[in-house]
Structure 1
Amino acid sequence: MKELVILLAESALETIPRELLNDPVIINDARKRRENPRYLILDRARHHRAMLGLPRAEKRGRPDIVHQALLLIQGSILAYNKLVKTYIHTTNNLVIYVDPETRVPRNYNNFIGLMSQLFREGKVPPMGKPLFSIVGGINHAFNAELPDRKILLDDVRGREIPMSVFIDYVLSLKKPLVMIGAFPRGSFEESTYSLADDVFRISRYVMDTATILCRLLSALEMRLGLLA
């Protein structure tokens, strides 16, 4: 394996949907944060009441999942050795490229502020080399990276294989692209399933995004001899 590409699929990261912009909950939060409501990041912890009638609400408003995932990936030994590249695919089918050298803010509020700026400006920082940049739809990542295989890790439809076998498979490829869901519950959209060459599950248990990443990154680092 020359490089692993991780795509956080259908991530619960988005700005306030148009239908909620005039909701009192959103207006009050925007005033408190001194932010244009249009560029607030939807967050169930703060916007739960406003989200009650939102379509697919169970999958939305969890930017903390993306934050945790990025801390794990960008802080990994794989990242330190320039062996991993990261994309975020949002629930609205935008794709965000994460520069391999990006160190994600550990403070959640700082991260949310950075994401607000990203959706407002298209990249952050607006000048100079961007740490995060919005680059288009999901096919952009595939066309930019040209992976050997697009692998979806899914607890619903995935074929269960042992982790050791999965790691062997990933390492046998020059540039595998692994898609991992970054939403709290529910299943992938049919459009996401249609993009995958392989659909696997690596445990008989349902695991959250952070747990899957911990297991995957650690297993690869150990197999590559990066961990003592």
Structure 2
Amino acid sequence: MVSLILAESSLELIPTELKSHPSVVSHAQKLGKIPSEILLDNSWHYAAMKGISNEIKRGRPDIAHFSILEATTIPLFFQNKIKLFVHTINDKVISFGENVHVPKSYHRFAGLIEKLFQEKSVMVENNELLSLKDQSFSELIKQINPSNIIGLSTTGKQSTFEKIGSGLNDDSCIVVGGFQKGHFSDSIKNKVTNLFSVGNTSLEAHVVVSRMLYEYEKTIFM
């Protein structure tokens, strides 16, 4: 089963140092929640986020949402031929159960992830749909134990989705950045077997996920 990791994803609750910022407090009040219960989102918290550590990689939960939808609404996922993990910027890992249907509405998705961050698990009729645990990228790789790890980045060796897809096997792991700007940290790059670039310009994460998985699908179903 191929594994897909959305690495260093922009998914986190409001950090302690921003909880009292006016933009955060105001947004939380509108949602009827306290600041520590809501996702950091630069659409609402841009003023609060100015100057925080690793700013360019944070506050974009929509990137993970789009990418998760791309990965969980395709034949590969429905036939249990792919395992999805979301590794966050703060070294937490979300695992997905079989045939999980993630909300297409962003607001419902945000509510689901906020609940997951607080409760660590989302259950429906004794089936665990989502789970969250503290885990570094290297620890996740050790758990998966893939035969090869393919990273996709503009800093990698030039290739194409088709060439990469044709070289994948059931024990491969694909790594895509779940952030808006910047590059993989050294802790990610050091674990990647092969780092490839699939174009001269940067593509959004959900586009990379959809095209990469489609090329792999072609090797199985066509």
Name which of 194, 200, 210 aligns with 1:198. Answer: 194
| Pairwise CA distance, 1:127 | 7.6
Quote the residue 1:149 is aligned against.
148
The 3 A distance-change label for structure 1 pair 46 and 127 is farther
Q: Which moved more, 1:202-211 or 1:183-192?
A: 202-211
Quote the residue 1:218 is aligned against.
214
How do 1:21-100 residues align onto structure 2 when only pairs under 5 Å count? 21-100=19-98
Q: Which moved more, 1:138-147 or 1:88-97?
A: 138-147
| Pairwise CA distance, 1:35 | 1.4
The 8 Å contact of residues 138 and 191 in structure 2, kept in 1 or not, is answered as no
Secondary structure of the structure 1 residue equivalent to 2:218: helix
Quote the residue 2:131 is aligned against.
133
Q: In structure 1, what is the Cα distance between the partners aligned to 2:175 and 2:159? A: 16
1:49-86 C-alpha deviation (Å, 9 max, x unpaired): 11112122111100000000111100011111211110
| Pairwise CA distance, 1:101 | 1.6
The aligned amino acid for 1:45 is S
Name which of 179, 201, 205 aligns with 1:183. Answer: 179
1:9-51 C-alpha deviation (Å, 9 max, x unpaired): 0001111011101111111111111112112100111111111
The 8 Å contact of residues 148 and 174 in structure 1, kept in 2 or not, is answered as no
Secondary structure of the structure 2 residue equivalent to 1:125: strand
Q: Give the fraction of aligned pairs with identical amino acids, expressed as a percent.
A: 28
Q: Scaled by the length of structure 2, what TM-score is found?
A: 0.94
The aligned amino acid for 2:154 is D
Q: In structure 2, what is the Cα distance between the partners aligned to 1:143 and 1:47? A: 35
The 8 Å contact of residues 49 and 55 in structure 2, kept in 1 or not, is answered as yes
Quote the residue 1:114 is aligned against.
112
Indicate the structure with greater strand content: 2
Q: Which moved more, 1:209-218 or 1:81-90?
A: 209-218
RMSD of Structure 2 on Structure 1 (CA)? 1.6
Gaps of 5+ in 2: none
The 8 Å contact of residues 166 and 216 in structure 2, kept in 1 or not, is answered as no
Q: Which moved more, 1:189-198 or 1:177-186?
A: 189-198
Gaps of 5+ in 1: none
The 8 Å contact of residues 10 and 181 in structure 1, kept in 2 or not, is answered as yes
The aligned amino acid for 1:83 is K
The 8 Å contact of residues 160 and 203 in structure 1, kept in 2 or not, is answered as yes
The aligned amino acid for 2:130 is F
Q: In structure 1, what is the Cα distance between the partners aligned to 2:142 and 2:54? A: 29
The 3 A distance-change label for structure 1 pair 127 and 91 is farther
| Pairwise CA distance, 1:144 | 2.8
Q: In structure 2, what is the Cα distance between the partners aligned to 1:218 and 1:177? A: 15
| Pairwise CA distance, 1:135 | 2.9
Q: In structure 2, what is the Cα distance between the partners aligned to 1:65 and 1:208? A: 8
The 8 Å contact of residues 59 and 184 in structure 1, kept in 2 or not, is answered as yes
Aligned residues: 221
1:190-222 C-alpha deviation (Å, 9 max, x unpaired): 111111111111223321101111211221222
The aligned amino acid for 1:202 is V
1:148-179 C-alpha deviation (Å, 9 max, x unpaired): 112211112x1112333212211xx3311111
